[in-house]
Amino acid sequence: MRRSTKINLRFAVFALVLLLACCFCRSIAWGQSCTLPPSNMLAWWPGDGHAHDVQGGHNGKLVSATYGTGMVGEAFSFNGSNAFVQVPNSRVWGFGTEDLTIDLWANFSAVRNSGSIGRLDNVFIGDDNGPNQQNKWVFALSAGVLTFHINSPQIGPQFLAQTPFSPAPGTWHMLAVTKASGTYTIWIDGVPNTGTAQTYNTAIPRPTAPLTIGEAEGLGYFDGFIDETEIFTRALSATEIQAIFNAGSAGKCKPAVLSPSSFSFAPEPLGVTGPAKKFELTNYQNATTLDIANIALGGTDPGDFAISAKSCGPTLKPLANCTISVTFTPTATGERTAQLTSSDDAYNSPQTAQIVGLAAASLTPSTANFGTVKTGTTSHAVKFTLTNNQTATLNIASIGFGGADPTDFAVSSSTCNAQLPAKSKCSISVTFTPGSTGPRSGVLAVTDDANNSPQEAQLKGNGG
């Protein structure tokens, strides 16, 4: 009996140790969870087998670069001689006097040190109009120091916040530069180097060339891997930068993206369905399936739009996309708006796209009530606006009246001529002169070559 008790006791102790060990292992796994991206992100290139900017839509293309194992998922892989990522020029890369943060993970296969900081030995990211004193900004490791370099014909070369850094090849480091109220600070693995921080209040020059990751000026071709490159329009706090570093291989939580984020349908006649527009839902999570709860239309005029087809099911695999086709069938004149929405389990759910549709030409307001006017007396004028929503000239054939009592209404003035240029407006002022007592009604009608001609407004008044 005692022996059996000892065996049971030993088994219980063993089970308890095993349970604690499992809990410990799980706590480590659970600790490796993604961190939510900080606010005011301008661009984010994760490098997960694509060169998409999953934040701002500034998608890049690989030039002799490839992909490799990253700190988080995959990363851009550069050969140190002619490889880089090119992103189209945009005014948003002109930071001026604004605060900013640029951060990324870098893993060097080889580290260059020419001894000359102007050689820009190892470039992480930059935007430049060319060599020498032209508009540019570059974040690089050069001559053994991390620096944020700016230049222009007016200010000449500036190498800011020079911070010594000697990385060992094959090791991942999180590198960042912040600018807060004119003070530049370099961060290494979540820690700011305040000793080398530098205040320089001159505006960062605006280049007019593509942004590049992995080189600048045709110099400093990076040899190794760059991952999770991102730009913010403010200086991140120490807590935020440390959170990104602490997330490690889990990285920042990746979004789902619905694109385009807005679309305007071409004008259509009332009740006529135009061609479908295809929207794309992308799951940028590199290891997690997206669970889609619902894809629907909402907003002000959802009945004027319809989902005609979709390839999206209840789930979407990591780094995969599906499509939603939407059509526009105007039920009334004027601008019609709605919102396409995907509700899912991504951290940024719901994803939305704003959609707008127009009739080819519109007359507003669509109704007017002149009230009671003494018989034979002319009322005040009501102004109507004719809008040509087309990209072509609207040819106006006539402006007149119909309905039960057309002679009771008259055009008192008009700015509408025989032709109304594309995307423009004119006005028609109408008065009411009742021919007899009681309710009176009519229709203002504009006949033209738009496919929803005539455009009409219902008129009514009362003869007193």
Residue 9 pLDDT > 60, yes or no?
Answer: no
Residue (of 413, 403, 417, 407) closest to 445 by Cα position: 403
Establish whether domains 41-250 and 256-358 are of one fold: no
Written as six digits, the tokens of 156 are 């000449």
Distances (CA, A) of 375 to 378, 432, 434, 462: 8, 10, 5, 9
Q: Topology of 41-250 in CATH?
A: Jelly Rolls (2.60.120)
Calpha distance 295→312 (Å, rounded): 9
> Taking residues 175-194, what's their average pLDDT?
98
> Taking residues 181-186, what's their average pLDDT?
98
Tell me, what's the pLDDT at 289? 97
Tell me, what's the pLDDT at 133? 93
Maximum pairwise Cα distance, the chain = 119
CATH code of 256-358, in short, is 2.60.40.10
When pLDDT is cut at 50, 70 and 90, the band that residue 227 belongs to is very high
In the numeric block, the tokens 């369905």 are attached to: 273
> Taking residues 240-250, what's their average pLDDT?
97
Tell me, what's the pLDDT at 32? 61
pTM, to two decimals: 0.75
Tell me, what's the pLDDT at 391? 84
Those residues whose C-beta lies under 8 Å from the C-beta of residue 435, and which sit 6 or more positions away, are 375, 376, 405, 407, 408, 463
**Contact (Cβ atoms closer than 8 angstroms) between residue 274 and residue 329:** yes
Residue 6 pLDDT > 90, yes or no?
Answer: no
Number of H helices, E strands in the chain: 2, 34
When pLDDT is cut at 50, 70 and 90, the band that residue 335 belongs to is confident
**Contact (Cβ atoms closer than 8 angstroms) between residue 53 and residue 44:** yes
Every domain of the chain and the residues it spans: 41-250, 256-358, 361-463
> Taking residues 231-240, what's their average pLDDT?
98
Calpha distance 112→323 (Å, rounded): 45
Tell me, what's the pLDDT at 334? 74
Tell me, what's the pLDDT at 1? 41
Q: What is the per-residue pLDDT across 386-443, written as a single tens digit (0 to 9) for each?
A: 999 888 999 999 999 999 999 999 999 999 999 999 999 999 999 999 999 999 999 9
In the numeric block, the tokens 């006005």 are attached to: 427
> Taking residues 93-112, what's their average pLDDT?
97
Other beta carbons within 10 angstroms of residue 240's beta carbon come to: 20
Calpha distance 259→326 (Å, rounded): 13
Helix (H) or strand (E) holding 329: none
Q: What is the mean pLDDT of the chain?
A: 92
Those residues whose C-beta lies under 8 Å from the C-beta of residue 13, and which sit 6 or more positions away, are none
Q: What is the per-residue pLDDT across 13-37, written as a single tens digit (0 to 9) for each?
A: 333 333 333 333 333 333 468 999 9
Sheet of 361-364, strand order: 361-364, 382-388, 424-432, 409-414
> Taking residues 64-82, what's their average pLDDT?
98
Q: Topology of 361-463 in CATH?
A: Immunoglobulin-like (2.60.40)
